[in-house]
Amino acid sequence: MSPTLGKVYLVGAGPGDPGLMTLKGKTLLENADVVVYDALVSPPILAMISDRAEKIHAGKRRGRHSKLQEETTQLLIEKAQTHAIIVRLKGGDPFVFGRGGEEMADLIKAGIPVEVVPGITSGIAAPAYAGIPLTHRDYSSSVTFVTGHESAGKYRPQVNWQAIAQGSETIVIYMGLHNLGYIVDQLQQGGLTSQTAIALVRWGTRPEQEQLIATLATIVEQVEAQQFEAPAIAVIGSVVNLHSILRTFVGT
């Protein structure tokens, strides 16, 4: 490996609130030569980047992942040839539905030094700012984190939603809004009642955060009626009912 190669840092930007950015991540942004960032990274986090750094928007929008991912990885490899500190800034945590593992493996394969800097994932932070504890001694002792971005109409889903319905007291779903009707139906077929509580938290931890609290029976209709849009985290289970008690005392 050439000693002149720079180092790529896969940095988790957290869910949006700049106060939740790690000190290590902030220091890297202040000293980076190049920052390649995703679309969901909040403006206050981007404001931490040094003025001298080259800033590159990597997009990362729904429906364009494959081609963009290859282009982004190649860009990181190229920048490492000429710069010392390259930050790949990813929303939330790089290793939680952030494709950080794929990028890290490709960089290692290319001989590029790489390090991961964890961030607070939105699946934990967004419910917390909405007053929803994912575990509670009286309500839930298990949590499942799952992606809901699969397109059920194009190929057989890999997530066994019916098994998840039976296997966890709290379910946290990333990127599930577009397939919410299918997911809700599968969870009910798996044994969850129509009155099971569900919360959608949009732009969690940011000033524009908003919540939609409903049941499995009503959530799809309410999403349509209120035009509730992504990005949003879904939380399903009895812990959602604590929202009305705890929301006043947490968050922004």
Backbone phi, psi, residue 225, to 5°: -65, -40
Q: Is the pLDDT of residue 12 over 60?
A: yes
- Predicted pLDDT of residue 67: 46
What residue numbers bound the domain in which 14 lies? 7-120
Confirm whether 38 is a catalytic residue: yes
In whole angstroms, give the CA distance from residue 243 to residue 111: 48
The catalytically annotated residue of 17, 38, 93, 106 is: 38
Q: What is the CATH classification number for the domain harbouring 91? A: 3.40.1010.10
Within 10 Å of residue 175's Cβ, how many Cβ atoms?
18
The answer to whether 175 is a known catalytic residue is yes
pTM above 0.95, yes or no: no
- Evaluate whether residue 2 is within a structural domain: no
Residue 127 shares a structural domain with residue 235: yes
The answer to whether residue 213 scores a pLDDT higher than 90 is yes
Give the residue among 193, 178, 172 at the shortest CA–CA distance from 240: 172
Determine which one of 17, 48, 60, 106 is catalytic. Answer: 60
Categorise residue 171: left if φ over 0, alpha if ψ from -120 to 50, beta otherwise: beta
Expressed in angstroms, the distance from the first to the final Cα of the chain is 47
Report the number of distinct structural domains present in the chain. 2
Does position 105 have pLDDT exceeding 70, yes or no? yes
Q: Tell me, yes or no, if 1 is annotated catalytic.
A: no
Report pLDDT for 246. 81
Which of 120, 145, 169 delimits the end of a domain? 120
